[in-house]
Structure 1
Amino acid sequence: MKGLGVSPGIGIGNAFIIDKKAMNIERKHVIDTDSEIKRLRNALEIGKNQLNELYLKTLEEVGEKEAQIFKSHEMMLEDDTFSSDVEVRIKNENINAEFAINETSDTYIKLFENIEDEYLRERADDIRDVMTRVIKILLGINNTDYSRLKENSIIIAKDLTPSDTAQIDKSKVAAMITEMGGKTSHAAIIARIMGIPTVVGLENITNKIKPNDFVICDGKSGKVLINPNQKQLKYYTQKKEKEEEVGNELKKQIGLSTVTKDGFEVSLSANIGTPRDVDMVLENDAEGIGLFRSEFIFMNRELSPTEDEQFEEYKEVLSRMNNKPVIIRTLDIGGDKNVPYIDIPKEMNPFLGYRAIRLCLGNIDVFRTQLRAILRASIYGNVKIMFPMISTMKELKDAKKILEEAKLELKKEGKSFRDNIEIGIMIEIPSAAIISDMLAREVDFFSIGTNDLIQYTLAVDRMNSKLSHLYSQYHPALLRLIKSIIENAHKAGIWVGMCGEAAGDPKLIPVFLGMGLDEFSMNAPSVLKSRYIIRGLKKKEMEQVAANTLNLENAVEVEDYLSCLFADENDSYLKRCKIRSKTND
């Protein structure tokens, strides 16, 4: 069987089925609505106490970032608007509390499920998890007894909520398999942080696997084997041992410079969303932060963060990075990523709409406040400022003008900041790529955002599963565009990085190296693997590889060519980049 692998690794062990009893939520007529509301409030209070216990447990065993999930869940139960909506239903319709909660939460869930952004859409699972907890309290249904977990258990479930993952003893879990879930669900996020192999999207798996069945789970390929034969078991056991060996080998890259065999040095940075992500950056020995997605500071709150609140967040990251470069991308929100305190109109095409720098230039107070906070924090480290979604020269000049105004304000107030901060832009729109020779005269660096550049160049919605075969980072048009961006940047004497997913692709790293990319920024766990690859290559040889790649006709040819060119002796990384055929064939 094959599902979606969301956390790599091999898990081998016995199945532990999480059989959640179906909740029979019937509509019942109640006469004493005051007593029913009291019953509701009692259940909400019990739910909050349970969530606080989960917060403390997760804080101790996993970390602050993951524990915050339960604080946000607790806030849902404290939301006056929601509880008021439920109480009004109980009174007006004379219905029971569990039915009223179910009906009200369904309305909220449908709103989130219709959001295009995958991360926000999957927050519907959070609402479902919290409300299920309260309904179970009202119905008197006990939760799963996780104390029965044995060593090397393979968790099998329809879905794993944050509440489930917090209660599981991670030391006893070899892998997790679910029928539902996505790459950005909390279960997937926690699984990756804890290094638990996980596969999601396996339809009806809870009925196909019996308790104590022997199971193999490949969290990278998404393959799941039930009661494998000896040959299969031997293969995956060896594969698991090999991956562990590779992981230990990669740790030897810590402390080494990222330089090719012929002396070409590049920078390997990591992408982060919050200050808490710095732990992974330091653990994987990244040479800087190539993308700090500042929008996460603005999300999941009712009011815009103040200048001081933002200042503290940026200061923490800069201080911990100990003068290593940190590129902060200014607010990239709008369209499908709304916040309640900024009026963003509903749009037919949100990805082409009022977002990122366009929204900031339309909300100058919000933009200036962020720039002031970054400037004030600059004295604590090596910060660089990057503007997203630039499509015209005017946008760039307007943004720079507001930055200069913020500097003047701080000078008048006697507040310190670094005056020589590097300014850059994300190149993620074809128009910016085409005029990159002109834009390069106005900035200190470019960072290529391949995720959006792919969808805008190929006219493919990256959220549309029916078009996934067209969304490819190997498309020759994209690669030619990237080469022209790098060339234009270098002609103007500025450096260029890449912060999209393609930057960490083992097959494309040699191509971008050959094109002369100066900085690669990726998810922190990919840094050591990428360093190993680059240290095994010669820049001069990769220039020819890049030239050959650009002469191919389609994405399939490009990927096949690169797959044949470099030996992939281990599924989890390029064991040693050896050219199998001549680079000029």
Structure 2
Amino acid sequence: MMQIYKGLGVSEGVAVGKVLKIHSAFMNYPRIEIEDESALPLEVERLKKAQLQTQAQLEAISADSGSVINDELRQVLTSFQLLLADKKFVPAMIDKVLTAKINAEWALIRTIAKLEERFKKIEDPYIKARVDDIRQLGGKLMNNLLEKPTLDISGLKEPVIIVCHDISPADAFHLNKDNILGIVTEMGGMTSHSSILARAMNIPAVVGVPDATNRVLDDHFCILDGSTGEVIDQPSPEKINEKLDKKERRNLYQLQLNKLIGHPCKLKDGLVVDLAANLDFLAELPEIKKFQIPSIGLVRTEFLFDLESEFPTEEEQFNTYTQVILESSCNPITFRTWDIGSDKTTKLLHELSEEANPALGFRGIRTCLKHPEILRPQIRALLRASLSAQIKVMIPMVTRIDEITASLAIVEEERANLGIKSSKLQLGCMLETPAAVHILDDLLDLCDFISIGTNDLVQYTLAVDRLNEHVSSLYDPFHPAILKMLEYTVQTCNRRGKPVSICGEMAANPIMQMFLLGNGEITFSMSPNQVLKTKRVLGKVDQGTLKKIAFKFINKHSSDESNRLAKELQSQYVEES
């Protein structure tokens, strides 16, 4: 009987084939009380042995240059190694064995559970995804405790759809793309490593399917739709034909999109629209190169490094920023300075753990100006990198003019300290708060460019936490207040002759793109895999049509009206992929 399960589609595509379930023994081991205290040292030795085995496995994987693991995932392996060596990790398990007189497996389970609970209190999806890292490392330790073999599907006779609890970067070493049709996991989100891995390998994937390893049957025929987030167990013949047709249509659609690689984004009347890529992980660099995206509009620098153990040195940052420059071949590249605070925490800054209302507290440029010891090395690294490329530096969470003047002063001081007489480096700011919008003219006196961060701008303007399920429906980028702010921002920047871009989630929304272009010149910075779709959609409209669309939106007086218009335009101009 056909069953349809829903998850989050994180890597597009349709997979049709048999299921291979990979069970995790991690949370399925019982608590055993050890009455004979003389047996406790044996449990301690088992933990130490598992720690050494896991460390050796991780080192072997990291050293293998032929692995499918990319640079970003290698960084995760490094964080695994650091956590494994942490004095509060395995020693905490040993302490549980000795004080509670329990088996090593249960001590491991309880230690991981405590760490998970701490991380789950953080709202940021990227940070929450690190819960999966902790569990994955726990799984590796458990496998070694139980002397279970590592995941290996290289000997399969036919490709399969993998259904598992999660896939770690360490497991990725054993995966062969030729053997995998698709991936379904119980854990994960858009930024979890199973998702990154699937996109990097171009494998359709759905994550966050509750109890998938128990609900989806082994060896059953299954369909996975990475666009809709559907996992269909024992599909009917009609459903199989429907999804195969969709797969064929998507393949044809992608072939059409691929023809746009290397061509500029042009409106129907020939006007060129500037497109740029967002870079969250080094793993995305090959995609930027593949799609020949000429510039990077946002590098989220805090995602490029592990900020749990220590901040990277100036030299480490310079090397990483240089890698971005060389491997992307993009020009210009816009690096955002550390956007730490609110939901992006690090134990290295004690203030972040003491806030009652983090979203309105210590974050972005506020954090950096309070801690110049983390901002100055970053500025020095970016100044050095700017000698070989056109670099832009973007300041996040600006609400005051003096935050820009202080940032400019630091840039000038560090330029002088480095002995750099002239630099191509430009400085701009993120427009993420109503305060920044209202002082835009003053900001433009000091800034070389402006970038609109719609994710936070919508959140702060509408007083809505988009990650809070109780109010997330009120998070509405097409709210009239947001549209008026965006209209004002684009028109003001154009009038002042200063470049303006948009880099939040709405940068890839084709209807928002039409509204913004109807108000003037703007650059769209988005996920690399959205660039070709944008070229195709915008090629159907001309400037006159865009101005009419913008006029219609700005004269809507309610969210319902503007969202109805957005849906009408979506059906008119945007194809289903």
Q: Same fold (TM over 0.5)?
A: yes
1:521 deviates by 0.2
Give the C-alpha shift of residue 363 in structure 1: 1.2
2:206 maps to which residue? 199
Residue 571 of structure 1 is matched in structure 2 by 576
> How far is the alpha carbon of 1:33 from its aligned partner?
4.1
Change in CA separation of 1:33 and 1:206 when aligned onto 2, cut-off 3 Å:
closer
The answer on 1:358 being equivalent to 2:350 is no
Alignment of 1:104 with 2:111, yes or no, is: yes
Moved more, 247-256 or 285-294: 247-256
Partner of residue 578, structure 1: none
Give the secondary structure class of the aligned counterpart of 2:350.
Answer: coil
Match of 1:518 among 510, 517, 522: 522
Task: Quote the offset at 1:57 in angstroms.
Answer: 6.1
Q: 1:133 to 1:170 in 2, by over 3 A?
A: same
Match of 1:294 among 280, 301, 324: 301
Please give the secondary structure, in 1, of the residue aligned with 2:524.
strand
Farther off after superposition, 551-560 or 521-530:
551-560
Instruction: Indicate yes or no: 2:504 matched with 1:500.
Output: yes
Match of 2:33 in 1: 27
Tell me the CA shift for residue 131 of structure 1.
Answer: 1.8
| Matched AA of 1:510 | M
Q: Which residue matches 1:154?
A: 161
* 1:540 is aligned to 2:547: no
Structure 2 vs 1, CA of residues 276 and 378 (structure 1 numbering), >3 Å: closer, same or farther? farther
Superposed, 1:26-425 pairs within 5 Å as 26-29=32-35, 30-55=37-62, 60-142=67-149, 146-147=153-154, 149-322=156-329, 324-345=331-352, 346-411=354-419, 416=420, 418-425=422-429
Deviations 1:435-490 (A, max 9, x none): 21221122111100011111111111122122221112222221211111111111
- The answer to whether the 8 Å contact 1:173/1:196 transfers is yes
Deviation at 1:72, TM superposition (A): 2.4
SS of 2:430's equivalent in the other structure is strand
**What 5-or-longer segments of structure 2 have no aligned partner?**
none
Is 1:469 the counterpart of 2:473 in the alignment?
yes
**1:190 corresponds to which letter in structure 2?**
L
- Cα distance in 2 between the residues matched to 1:461 and 1:353: 15
Contact 1:319 / 1:381 at 8 angstroms: preserved in 2? no
Is 1:449 paired with 2:453?
yes
Structure 1 340/297 Cα, relative in aligned 2: closer, same or farther at 3 Å? farther
Moved more, 282-291 or 34-43: 34-43
Distance in 2 between the 1:151 and 1:561 partners? 48
CA deviations on 1:153-201 (whole Å, 9 max, x unpaired) are 2222344444444433322222222333322221122112222222233
- Once residues 275 and 185 of structure 1 are traced to their aligned partners in structure 2, the CA distance between those partners, rounded to angstroms, is 14
Distance in 2 between the 1:184 and 1:386 partners?
A: 23
SS class of match (2:219): coil
Taking a change above 3 Å as real, the CA distance of residues 59 and 454 of structure 1, as seen in their structure-2 partners, is farther
Partners of 2:120 and 2:189 in 1: how far apart?
13
Contact 1:298 1:339 in 2 (8 A): no
Q: What is the alpha-carbon distance in structure 2 between the residues aligned to residue 70 and residue 58 of structure 1?
A: 14
Matched residues, number:
568
Cα 1:3–1:336 change in 2 (3 A) is closer
Which residue is 2:9 aligned to? 5
Residue 133 of structure 1: how far off its partner (Å): 2.3
Change (3 A) 1:50 1:83: same
TM-score, with normalisation over the residues of structure 1?
0.91
Deviation readout 1:33-68 (Å, 9 max, x if unpaired): 444333321111112233334445685224232233
Change (3 A) 1:91 1:18: closer
Evaluate the alpha carbon distance shift between residue 211 and residue 93 of structure 1 in structure 2; reply closer, same or farther with a 3 A threshold: closer
SS at match of 2:187: coil
C-alpha distance in 2 between matches for 1:155 and 1:344: 43
Report if aligned partners of 1:55, 1:68 keep a CA contact under 8 Å in 2: no
Shift of 1:232: 2.2
Identity of aligned residues (%): 34
Amino acid at match of 1:232: K
Letter matched to residue 219 of structure 1 = G
Q: Are the aligned partners of 2:152 and 2:175 in contact in 1 as well (CA < 8 Å)?
A: no
Task: Check the 8 A contact 2:11/2:195 in 1, yes or no.
Answer: yes
Q: Which amino acid in the other structure matches residue 28 of structure 1? A: I
C-alpha deviations, 1:497-537, integer Å up to 9, x for none?
00111001123222222122421000111112212222332
Q: 1:297 to 1:226 in 2, by over 3 A?
A: closer
Letter in 2 for 1:454: V
Distance (whole Å) between structure 1 residues aligned to residue 538 and residue 337 of structure 2: 30
Query: Root-mean-square deviation (CA), in Å?
Result: 2.4
SS of residue matched to 2:473: coil
